Chains A and B, each alone.
Chain A
C-alpha cells in the first residue's frame, strides 16, 4: 500500500514529556500537511511543507511545536513539554504540487496527555 503512513497510531504520555510523530507521505507528493483534530471538530491546519521547505505555519501553533521534513520525504512533528490541551488526533496529509489536486490523509496519531 502506498498511502500516507503515520506512526505511532496511538501515544499516551505524561504531561511535560516530549513526543514525536512521524509521517511518510505518498512518494511522489511534494506537499505535506499537518493538521490537528479534536473531538467533534474539523481538522485544524498546523503547518505545511513543499519538499523540505516549511512554507506556512499556523499562528495557533505555539513554540512547543516544531515540524521538520529534512530530505523532502518523511516528516516529523515534535511537541515539547506536552500539556493536557495537546490531546488530539494529529493528521498528516500529502498532495502533488499542481493546484486543484486532492490531499490524501493518513490514519492519524491519537495523542493522550495524562
Chain B
C-alpha cells in the first residue's frame, strides 16, 4: 500500500499562479522527497527535506514538513507551462532505505 497520499489528485492553474500540493504519510520517516514526472518519462528529484527540518527552498520551490501531523506541502511559485507534470512525494522510512511513493498530483499549467 502507498505510504503517502497527495492532495489534490489533479490541479489546473493559470501560468503565473502558485501551485500547492499536499502529502500525508503514516509512519516515521528519515526524510521526505518530492519528484516530478513528465508524461511517460522517468522521475526527476526536486527537493529533499529531512525529518528535523521544517521548511526548505530551492528556486521557485518551497517545501514544508510537519512531522507531528505527518504531512508535507510543496509550493511552486510563479508557475510556468513547463511545470505541467505529475508530482509525487516519497518518504524514506526510518526502518528501511526504500522510498515509498504517493499516488501523485497531476498539475496542469495553462498558458
Give chain B's interface residues, CB within 8 Å of chain A.
2, 4, 30-31, 33, 35, 40-45, 48, 50, 88, 90, 92, 96-104
Which chain B residue lies CB-closest to A99? B30
Known interface pairs A43-B43, A105-B43. Does A100 touch B97 (Cβ–Cβ under 8 Å)? no
Q: Kindly state whether residue A108 has any CB partner on chain B within 8 Å.
A: yes
Count residues on chain A whose CB falls below 8 Å from chain B CBs: 27
Among the interface residues A35, A55, A100, A108, which one has the most CB atoms of the partner chain B within 10 A?
A: A100
In the assembly, what is the distance between CA of A103 and CA of B46, in Å? 10
Known interface pairs A100-B31, A105-B42. Does A56 touch B88 (Cβ–Cβ under 8 Å)? no
Taking the nearest CB of chain A, how far is it from the CB of B24, in angstroms?
13
Which chain A residue lies CB-closest to B44? A105
Partner of B88, one of A4, A42, A99, A104: A42
